[in-house]
Amino acid sequence: MYFNTKKRVEKGIALLDKYVPDWHYRINIKQIEMEYSDYCILGQLYGDYNKGAAKLGLGEWEAYQCGFLPLVQVKWDLGFLFPWSLTRLAKIWKELITQKRKEDNSYFKFLKSIDAFGGEVRNMR
């Protein structure tokens, strides 16, 4: 489980579902950038990664286990993270959030109810 990125992200999704039920609507999938604390999953939900981790009571190991930190958090001497782990982690979050939204029929009803020109919400019947 520790090296299976998808299973770690699924654990993070379960945690967010428990504490922030509408979280997947509040994430801008196009802006997910795991290397930036304000564009990662917790950053988008709580303002930055550290605030989100603190709010959920996560240390680095727990955050890693829930897919909020990349596979390799250890920095090189030059200060870089391994970019492939960040990219893979972001890709899996994007895929699973998209899947979760598709499974949630109310999300699509909401999207269909928005007037694209005026931004007003129409009757959802």
Domain-located, residue 51 = yes
Domain-located, residue 82 = yes
Domain-located, residue 85 = yes
Domain-located, residue 34 = yes
In the block, residue with structure tokens 């509040």: 26
> Mean pLDDT for the chain?
81
Domain that holds residue 100: 5-113
Q: What are the residues whose beta carbons fall under 8 Å from the beta carbon of 81, sequence distance 6 or more? A: 35, 70, 72, 73, 75
Tell me the whole-structure pTM to 2 decimals.
Answer: 0.76
Domain-located, residue 53 = yes
Domain-located, residue 36 = yes
Domain-located, residue 123 = no
Domain-located, residue 95 = yes
Token couple for 108? 């699509």
- Measured distance CA(106)–CA(121) in Å, rounded: 14
pLDDT tens digits along 26-73: 999 999 999 899 999 999 999 999 999 999 999 988 999 999 987 655
Domain count across the chain: 1
